[in-house]
Chains A and B, each alone.
Chain A
Amino acid sequence: MQEFLQLVVSGISTGAIFASLALALVLIYNAMGLVNFAQGEMAMFATFIAYTLVNAGMSFWIAFPVTMVLAFGGGILIQRVVIRPVERAPVLTLVIITLGLATLVNGVAGFLWGYVPRSFASPFSPDSVDLGGVFVSYRDLGVIAVSGLVLLAIYLLLQHTTVGLTLRAAAHHPEASRLLGVHVSWMLALGWGLASAVGAVSGMMVAPILLLEPNMMQTIIIYAFAAAVLGGIESPLGAVVGGLLVGVTVNLAGAYIPNAGDLQLAFGLGIIILVLILKPNGLFGRAATRRV
């Protein structure tokens, strides 16, 4: 039982990482009905920036917000340069473009920092704390706390500020918002910036656990897809719940199914396929209705 609880807590910690990336996916999906295949690579790139800043002598807790701001700017830049010219193109075109973006960002990171894995020092102490018989590492708690704060901040921004309101309005009813004087195009860019910044958090949280290299996020993005699909791809709350569920499931499966090792990733694929077949709208998604 104690082992089970420990596994659940560390599952929540990895789940929080998946949740951040899944939320980034949901933000862009809501803005323009598109799954951003480059989200993971953008987060990886941001993590490399954080790594460079820390190596230049900056403290992690200063590098963290600085990286988020840079990632925000980078997201807006990408939206303006690459996505905006094809905003109205068919889904097929957009997906191929984000995939091209993923390949490009991956290559540029490989070009700048090389493919040798680097260790990224964790900002949290490696000790554990005893919570009623369950030993929880400060690292897990730290990841949960940081991700939780960021997710809370995004929630407050979206639901309780004017910017959040216009952002949601521009995503759901672009025409009506335009008539009311909202700069819809810039709101979409803002969505990309926010997604990029939230994604960067997941990169910076996962880098100390994995090693930092250009392909680091390739597995994480699959779990994030699973989380977003499980929660319902248009629901921010669903992304968070989905992320936590996927994290705990994968962690438990990895521990209790013998020799799971390599197959953990296949659980991600399994979740995606099961949800899409059994409940395509996810846990929190609304049933899609279409006028023909």
Chain B
Amino acid sequence: MQRIRTAPPRYWLVLLVVIFFLGFPTVISSFLASEWAQALILAIAIMGLNILVGYSGQLSLGHGAFMAMGAYISAILAHRYKMDYLATVPIAAVVTGVVGFLFGIPSLRLSPLYLALATFALAVVTPSLIKRPADLTGGVQGILIVQPDPPQLASDVFGAVTGTAMTSDQWIYYITLACALILFWLAWNLARRRPGRAMRAIRDGEVAAAASGVNVAGFKTLAFGISAFYAGTAGSLFALSTGFISADTFPVSLSIQLLVGAVVGGLASIPGPLLGAIFAYFLPIGSNQWVPSQTWLPDQITSTVKNAGPAVSYGVILILIMMFAPNGMVGLIRSGYATLDRRLRGAPDPKTGQMPPDPQTV
């Protein structure tokens, strides 16, 4: 017990999660693997949003637009210029990152409220901006993306474990997982080192941060750039995983979904975006499968709930989390763990000084 409690950031937990995600596709169907790949993609985008909102304190309601940009850069390069799709992912990420960085410069002048307003407008306008250059983006018809076959080596290893050949969906899952691992590792390093400290200082008090020698403008635009880099990667992978993108792939609700994931998981935390993404991705899917399976509900109610359900539940959850658990799931888990830990040690409550009941009874 003592050793676990004093262990530094719980490496064993991270290891467990990585092993889980590595092994998961070997026991689920190829279709489910592609769903989980999309949840991981959402996690990458939400991590980007988390760096911007959670760490640097700038609110963007338009991250779907950056995802759209990454997706279209990759799709156009692969479709028109016949590039290898995987080679386009880093290009899309870097270009979107640079655009995000440039977008961050005028944003410096805006108050948080105006920034939220401008990015929200951007999210609403995105679909019609995509439709416009129709010969480049395919307009409403969209672009079809050829999903790559898994390479021989990966297919052989996968075949040796499961006994069936690897599908391209499963291959895409592993590509996504690799990207997610790298990007989460980078974010973790960013958060606990100088840039992360600087961003948090800016979030908590811009003037105080500047007085302590933090380059406020530099770190704020840097946060925007990094955040867009993540969103661009996610968008590019998203296009690969769905195999088709069009203007309507990136509605406002995508940006809202990202925000829901970031808030529900827990802002300014590293595991938060992963938890939030799994929640935000599977909540509508889960309710869409559960509600029609209830035979006692009349058909008409079923179909409306299917349409309106995600919006209602997202709305209620956003409001409740912001009111009662502003640190999201991670915050709840942490405070729950701290309480449990205190009880096990028999330490008094830090606020009231009240002693816990006899440890044996817990």
Contact surface of A with B, Cβ cutoff 8 Å: 33-35, 37, 82, 85-86, 89, 91-93, 95-97, 99-108, 110-111, 114-115, 218-219, 222, 225-226, 229, 262-263, 265-266, 268-269, 272-273, 276-277, 280, 288, 292
Contact = CB atoms under 8 A, between A and B. Distances in A.
A200 B116 CA distance: 24
Contact of B113 (A91, A263, A277): A91
Interface stretch (B153-161, B273-281, B309-317): B309-317
Contact of A262 (B131, B304, B323): B131
Given A97-B318, A103-B315, A111-B312, A262 B124 contact: no
A260 to B, nearest CB: 10
5 contacts: A100-B315, A107-B310, A225-B120, A276-B110, A292-B207
A190 B353 CA distance: 42
Nearest to A85: B323
Given A225-B117, A273-B118, A99 B129 contact: no
Output the residue of A85, A103, A114, A263 with the most chain B CB within 10 A: A103
A122 B139 CA distance: 34
A95 B112 CA distance: 10
Nearest to A114: B304
Given A91-B112, A107-B315, A219 B323 contact: no
B252 A218 contact: yes
Contacts of A97: 318-319, 322-323
Nearest to A288: B111
B323 A266 contact: no
Interface residues of B, number: 46
B296 to A, nearest CB: 18
B114 A93 contact: no
Contacts of B106: 273, 276-277
Interface string B316-330: 111100110010000
Nearest to A218: B124
Interface of B: 53, 57, 59, 61, 106, 109-114, 116-118, 120-122, 124-125, 128-129, 131-132, 207, 252, 256, 259, 263, 304-305, 307-319, 322-323, 326
B125 A104 contact: no
Given A99-B259, A262-B128, A268 B121 contact: yes
B307 A110 contact: yes
A35 B113 contact: yes
Contacts of A106: 311, 315
B307 to A, nearest CB: 6
Nearest to B115: A276
A237 B352 CA distance: 52
Contacts of A85: 323
- Which 7 residue pairs across A and B have the least CB separation, nearest first? A104-B315, A100-B318, A107-B311, A107-B312, A110-B308, A103-B315, A111-B308
B312 A86 contact: no
Contacts of B120: 37, 225
Contacts of B312: 103-104, 107-108, 111
Nearest to B257: A103
B314 A103 contact: yes
B322 A86 contact: yes
A229 B61 CA distance: 17
A277 B314 contact: no
B114 A107 contact: no
